[in-house]
Amino acid sequence: MQATDTPFSGTALDEPALLAQQRRFAALRFTKQFEPAFREYLHGKMCGRVAVVAFSSISFMLLFMWVDVAYLPEVIHRYTVPIRGGVLILICIITWYANRPGRVAPDAAFFAATVAYVCVGLMVVLVITSSRLTVVPVPVTHDGLYLVLLSGFFLLGLPMWHAVIGSWFIVFAYLLAEYWVGSSRYLILSGALFLGSFAAMGSLGAYVYEYMMRRAYLNERLLEAARKRAERESQSKTRFLATASHDLRQPLHAMSLFIQHLDERVKEPEARITVRRLADSTHLLQAMLNSLLDISRLSVGMVRPQLRAINLQPWLQQLLGTLESSAQERGVTLKLNCPRHCAVMADALLLERLMRNYLNNALVHAQATEVCIEVTRCGERTRLAVVDNGCGLTEDEQERIFEEFTQLRNPARTLEKGVGLGLSICRQLLHLLEYPSGVESAPGKGSQFWLEVPAADWVADRQVAPMPEGQPLKGLIAVVENDEINLQATETLLRQWGCTVVCYETAEQALLGLQKSPVDLLLSDFRLEGQMNGLELIRELRSQRIYVGPAALITADTSEELIVEARQSDVGVIYKPVLPARLRRTVQRLLPVVETIS
């Protein structure tokens, strides 16, 4: 029967207590907390070699039964063969009994195996000494006992004291039997010398074997304890990141919306400058928070790609559009060189983060006047490259720029140039997505950061007529938010844009209120007071046919599970802190066209 080799049952993984056991090897004894578990471990190891033990024992027993018949007189082998057969049956029974981990206690298994071992030794002693009572054609020596002792000391895998006591019992039984049948003193002394020396070496070997087994057991337990501790620390870090992400994003979200409200209301030039600086500081704080949280989430494996086909040309044009004002402030020209009918299979959010970080790096650090995105087809992959005509990088700098918090040309660590995590995030994203990538650069000759993404079939996008810039929005929007400040900020900004807004603080209030007041769009936070979260609220509204229109979650929860569930429910997700411009675009897109076009 094959043994299981799982040693970690029965005791808790107390790492300090395990470390304290390292001082107990010499005595071959752990404390009561660990000794029973170790004996289970040793029993499992003994059971793991049962096939070898059973095969060798049966083979040698059958071989020596044949030797008895072939070389011993009938007066002897008529007794030795049945005795060997009886011991063979005993070995089979005890082997079956002792090698059942989990069903037989280790001490009982060790005792049974030792009994079988001693019986085999006594049987060999009987055969040897019985041959002394008559004339045999081939002298029978005590060499066969070496095989028995070798098996007991090393092959069976018994605890040291079982192997030592059993082996020395066999040796003394042999010497007494030789003395009883009247063997010569020379034969007895030579047998005592050779068998005693072998037994002494075997005893030392048995000690070393158990010592090594205890060392192996302790190392495995310490490794398991370290793994458990790492898992706990990872879970703790994950919980911290989730809490930090949610709790820090909430006030930033409200700050962004209130600042936008001020920016649209304040007319005095000096006050507008102050508001704009406040907005810039808020955006910088938001970017720093996103970078820190992203690098942490990537390091603990919290990010899982969600692949879909992306038409590159409009997607990249939109991405460049969001960076146009930043490029103009720095005097940089943005260009796009992309075939029209080109698509890739990628996670849109992760690919956007990759390209945005590369572009920001070129705008902020490259000292370039022109930055271009070049797209080329490379077999089954599509190469996206961000090329600048800036100052370039040495080979040493090309390695350093991907390290966390590294900025080559920002000795004062001014925050306008970020915190040095952009390219480090790119490196982790590339590893996660398994995209081939590289950097080609030389001092004074600009740089090219490229990556290769699996190609996909191009499909024509559905064209949506854009709303003229600055035109008021029209529609009735329901906002469900349990945070009073965020609720007030969202309501204020939506009303300022021209929308009619109804507000609810809980899912239960929304269920009752929306039955009486049909709306055009539902915006809800994910974490709400009460028994339902925002996604469950939307599902309940749709199942009861109270509201079946467009809906979006505005949330600080960035978990991958939420993204998957929201996509399956056809619900949009906007992460806090959301930029007011993005919130406006989302609301404009989700509001029914007949309500938004005058």
Please report which helix (H) or strand (E) contains residue 227, including its range: helix 185-265
Q: How much of the chain, in percent, has pLDDT values that exceed 70?
A: 82
| Dihedral angle of Cα 531, 556, 430, 226, to the nearest 10 degrees | -60
Residue 391 pLDDT > 90: no
Burial class of residue 439, CB neighbours in 10 A (0-12, 13-18, 19+): middle
Averaged pLDDT of the chain: 80
* 386 contacts 373 by C-beta, under 8 angstroms: yes
What are the residue boundaries of the structural domains of the chain, listed by start? 15-229, 308-456, 476-596
Query: Of 102, 132, 98, 103, which Cα lies nearest the Cα of 115?
Result: 98
- Encoding tokens for residue 409? 């040309």
Write down the pLDDT at residue 20: 64
Question: What does the alpha-carbon distance between residue 152 and residue 204 come to, in Å, rounded to a whole number?
Answer: 13
3-state secondary structure of 30: coil
Handedness of CA 314, 463, 589, 566 (dihedral sign): negative
Listed residue (403, 428, 399) closest to 296, CA to CA:
428
pLDDT for residue 7? 40
The listed range with the strongest mean pLDDT (158-162, 278-282, 483-487) is: 158-162
Averaged pLDDT, 278-290: 68
One fold for 308-456 and 476-596: no
Write out pLDDT tens, residues 130-173.
888 776 676 777 777 888 888 888 888 889 899 999 999 999 99
Q: Does 437 have pLDDT greater than 70?
A: yes
Q: Which of the pair, 428 or 502, is modelled with greater confidence?
A: 502
Query: 452, 494, 453: which is closest to 476 by C-alpha?
Result: 494
* Whole-number pLDDT of residue 10: 41
Which secondary structure element, helix H or strand E, spans residue 335, and what is its range?
A: strand 333-337
Confidence of residue 429 (pLDDT cuts 50, 70, 90): confident
Return the HEC string of 429-469: HHHHHCCCEEEEECCCCCEEEEEEEEEECCCCCCCCCCCCC
Structure tokens at 78: 């008529």
- pLDDT at residue 414, as a whole number: 47
Residues 6+ apart with CB under 8 A from 479: 487, 490, 491, 494, 501, 502, 503, 504, 523, 524
Sequence-distant contacts of 275-281: CB under 8 A, at least 24 apart? none
pLDDT recorded at residue 71? 78
Please state the three-class secondary structure of 360-390 as a single string: HHHHHHCCCCEEEEEEEEECCEEEEEEEECC
pLDDT of residue 322: 80
CATH for the stretch 308-456: 3.30.565.10
Given pLDDT bands bounded at 50, 70 and 90, which one contains residue 454?
A: very high
Tell me the fold of 476-596: Rossmann fold (3.40.50)
Q: How far is CA 292 from the centre of its chain?
A: 20
Location of structure tokens 């930029």: 579
Adjacency order of strands within the sheet including 551-555: 500-504, 476-480, 521-524, 551-555, 572-575
Query: Strand 500-504 relative to strand 447-456: parallel, antiparallel, unpaired?
Result: unpaired
Provide the CA 125 distance to its chain's centre, in angstroms. 58
β-partners of residue 382 are: 377, 453
pLDDT at 452 over 90: yes
Residues in the chain: 598
Whether the link from the prior residue into 339 is cis, omega within 30° of 0, is no
Q: What is the pLDDT of residue 375?
A: 93
Global pTM reads 0.48
Residues 6+ apart with CB under 8 A from 243: none
Mean pLDDT over 248-257 rounds to 72
Average pLDDT score over residue span 221-226: 84
Q: Residues 289-341: pLDDT tens digits?
A: 665 666 566 655 556 777 889 999 999 998 888 888 888 888 999 999 999 88
Q: How confident is the model at residue 382 (pLDDT cuts 50, 70, 90)?
A: very high
| Element housing 308 (H / E) | strand 308-311
Residue 303, SS3? coil
